[in-house]
Amino acid sequence: MMKRAIHIFPTFHSVDKIQEIRHRYDPLSDKIPPHITLVFPFESSIPSVDILVHIKSVAEHISPFPMTLRDVTGSGGEFLFLNVKEGNDFLIQLHDQLYEGILAPYRNPHITYLPHITLGRPGNSEEYSSALEKCKDLKESYHTVVKEITLEEIGEDDVSNVIGRVPLKDNRF
């Protein structure tokens, strides 16, 4: 059984501030770059090639799209989120379609999907409140164009290992 997840690894002009916050509050900051999760970590014996074929079947129907992230908010009393302001509908569409077919059994109906980059998971409620207060002044907007979906394997030490990248539909034709 391998533990895998499906993400978008956005590229921004500068991620210094994002990484500064993540290094401070996210224990996974050195193990995986800033990302938007489309399919949450799952353990499965499905061959990676089959998952990549499934991702391709979804990706070939969606063109590259612009995405903007801005504003830090809290979630569930424990997470710091950098919120998606543009591109949300495409991300939700990708999430929903990826959880069909061979990945349908791994969808958790108890979780509402809210696209974001996790900036941190402070250890306790005091740290959480303090982190939110420190992040409230982060007003930068982060713009990019989403062009591909990434399948990763999560190692025993929680390090992300990219297994494959699938481009979104080539709309040049």
pLDDT digits (tens, 9 = 90+) for 83-119: 999 999 999 999 999 999 999 999 998 988 999 999 9
> How much is the pLDDT for 119?
94
Total-model pTM: 0.92
Average pLDDT over residues 10-25: 89
Whole-number pLDDT of residue 173? 40
Average pLDDT, the chain: 92
Residue 149: the pLDDT is: 97
How far lies 162's CA from each of 33, 69, 81, 131, in Å? 11, 23, 23, 30
> Does residue 172 register a pLDDT over 60?
no
Question: What are the distances in angstroms from CA 136 to CA 19, 55, 74, 81, 146?
Answer: 16, 36, 10, 11, 26
What's the mean pLDDT in 34-43?
96
For the residues 158-169, what does the mean pLDDT come to?
Answer: 93
Longest CA span, the chain: 54
**Could you give the residue ranges of the DSSP H alpha helices within 6-163?**
16-25, 48-59, 88-98, 125-135
Backbone φ, ψ for residue 131 (5° rounding): -65, -45
Rounded Cα gap, residues 23 and 20, in angstroms? 5
**Residue 86 — φ and ψ, nearest 5°?**
-135, 135
Least confident residue range of 21-35, 68-82, 124-138: 124-138
